[in-house]
């Protein structure tokens, strides 16, 4: 798994690495909140804000990247059409 992450880093796929980091953070904090909730329920529930924030950040990051990619693809295709004429 670490070799795969290093490969992504060398391929300059940092957005994928960022999404993986958000996902791992959300899973680990979700598990931590579950363990803490066994001993102190209000504290465990309040810790659940961390995975929620991480998942929201991950989704927003994916949506923003998709929009940027869409706009850049549209601009590059329109530039290709303009240079052909």
The answer to whether the CB of 14 falls within 8 A of the CB of 20 is no
Mean pLDDT of 53-60: 85
> Does the pLDDT at position 84 exceed 70?
no
Residue 15 and residue 19: Cα distance in Å, rounded?
6
pTM here?
0.67
Containing structural domain, residue 40: 2-84
The structural domain count of the chain equals 1
pLDDT in tens, 3-49: 887 787 778 777 788 888 888 888 898 899 999 999 999 998 888 88
CA atoms within 13 A on the CB side of 47: 20
Residue with tokens 């949506």: 63
């Amino acid at each position: 798994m670490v070799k795969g992450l290093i490969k992504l880093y060398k391929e300059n796929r940092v957005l994928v690495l960022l999404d993986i980091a958000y996902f791992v953070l959300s899973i680990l904090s979700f598990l931590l909140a579950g363990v803490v909730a066994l001993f102190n329920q209000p504290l465990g529930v309040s810790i659940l804000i961390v995975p929620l924030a991480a998942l929201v950040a991950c989704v927003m990051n994916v949506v923003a990247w998709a929009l940027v990619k869409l706009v850049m693809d549209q601009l590059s295709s329109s530039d290709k059409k303009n240079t052909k004429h």
